[in-house]
């Protein structure tokens, strides 16, 4: 995935995004939703030795008191089902549980990944199921996010579904985000490509279009993604800025791993 550095200097972009996030940390912690998303970004981007405290914070925020690793698998699965409405939300809770308690529920997570993504993969021939459906795309990207255990278990994700079909599905999501000029969705889909190790398959022309679109939306002075909306600039930009940071972190990690192989 050769990012077009002439438009967005890669290292400067990462530093600028980090500065914006750090300077607005107080605002992130004002409500539960942005707080959780801030913790999630940290787990995606920090090295393995540094994520412990944020994994603990996520765990404490999402699990009620008394839930610990003394639960049997059956009890845990029943609890997770009772707390969620979708497969990807179940995967998220199990991934956080495993990070916190150093347990391994990969087998059950694989079942949820297959069940979640196979519904979408089965509907790929009907492209209208994807095109124009923002919520549909978010469910796909979030299944990928949590199914990779915040990027720490990519092989689990790749072994759960047909990557050729998954790539086609992501291509449709990418087309939708570009047509709709939806930067938030575009960033999530690009993270999906990297987490599935499909970034090298991205058509170079499409990638140029993506990066040009990001360049037009990125404010180099403030370090965040700009939306043409009125109102609070933090509220309208913080989520996409966090996703951009995840994209940068996962891309760098992917490139480092490839250079070591």
Q: What is the pLDDT of residues 76-103, one digit of tens each?
A: 888 889 888 888 999 999 999 988 888 8
Domains of the chain by residue range: 10-260
Q: Round to whole Å and give the CA distance between 252 and 254.
A: 5
Q: Round to whole Å and give the CA distance between 239 and 54.
A: 18
Answer yes or no: is pLDDT of 38 > 90.
Answer: yes
Residue 261 has a pLDDT of: 62
pLDDT tens digits, 131-161: 667 888 888 899 999 998 888 888 888 888 8
| Longest distance between any two alpha carbons in the chain, whole Å | 53
pLDDT tens digits, 40-77: 999 988 877 788 888 888 888 887 655 666 778 888 88
Q: Are 178 and 209 in contact (CB under 8 A)?
A: yes
The more confidently predicted of residues 241 and 202 is 241
Which two three-digit tokens encode residue 207?
């990638």
Of the candidates 109, 111, 75, the one whose C-alpha atom is nearest the C-alpha of residue 92 is 109
Of the candidates 33, 85, 34, 40, the one whose C-alpha atom is nearest the C-alpha of residue 59 is 40
User: For 19-23, which contacts have Cβ atoms below 8 Å and span 24 or more sequence positions?
Assistant: 19/223, 20/222, 20/223, 20/224, 20/241, 21/223, 21/241, 21/242, 21/245
pTM for the full predicted model: 0.84
Of the candidates 243, 226, 232, the one whose C-alpha atom is nearest the C-alpha of residue 27 is 232
**Secondary structure of 6-20 in HEC code, one letter for each residue:** CCCCHHHHHHHHHHH
The owner of tokens 């998954």 is 166
Residue 142 has a pLDDT of: 92
Q: Which has the minimum average pLDDT: 41-45, 122-126, 182-186, 240-244?
A: 122-126
Answer yes or no: is pLDDT of 190 > 70.
Answer: yes
- Beta bridge pairs of residue 218: 225
Q: Round to whole Å and give the CA distance between 122 and 114.
A: 11
Q: Round to whole Å and give the CA distance between 257 and 232.
A: 39
């Amino acid at each position: 995935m050769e990012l077009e550095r002439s438009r967005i200097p890669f290292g400067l972009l990462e530093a600028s995004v980090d500065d914006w996030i750090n300077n607005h940390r107080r605002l992130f912690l004002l409500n539960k939703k942005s707080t959780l998303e801030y913790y999630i970004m940290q787990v995606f981007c920090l090295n393995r030795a540094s994520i412990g405290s944020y994994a603990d914070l996520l765990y404490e925020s999402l699990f009620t008191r008394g839930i610990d690793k003394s639960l049997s698998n059956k009890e845990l699965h029943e609890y997770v089902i009772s707390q969620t409405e979708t497969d990807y939300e179940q995967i998220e809770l199990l991934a956080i549980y495993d990070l916190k308690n150093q347990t391994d529920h990969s087998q059950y997570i694989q079942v949820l990944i297959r069940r979640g993504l196979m519904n979408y993969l089965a509907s790929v021939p009907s492209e209208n199921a994807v095109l124009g459906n923002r919520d549909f795309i978010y469910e796909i990207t979030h299944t990928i996010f949590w199914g990779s255990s915040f990027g720490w278990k990519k092989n689990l994700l790749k072994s759960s579904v047909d990557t050729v079909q998954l790539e086609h599905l992501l291509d449709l999501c990418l087309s939708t985000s570009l047509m709709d000029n939806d930067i938030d969705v575009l960033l999530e889909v690009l993270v999906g490509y990297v987490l599935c190790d499909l970034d090298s398959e991205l058509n170079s022309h499409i990638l140029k279009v993506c990066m040009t679109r990001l360049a037009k939306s990125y404010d180099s002075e403030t370090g965040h993604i700009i939306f043409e909306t009125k109102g609070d600039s933090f509220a309208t930009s913080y989520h996409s800025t966090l996703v951009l940071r995840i994209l940068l972190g996962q891309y760098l990690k992917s490139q480092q791993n490839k250079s070591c192989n």
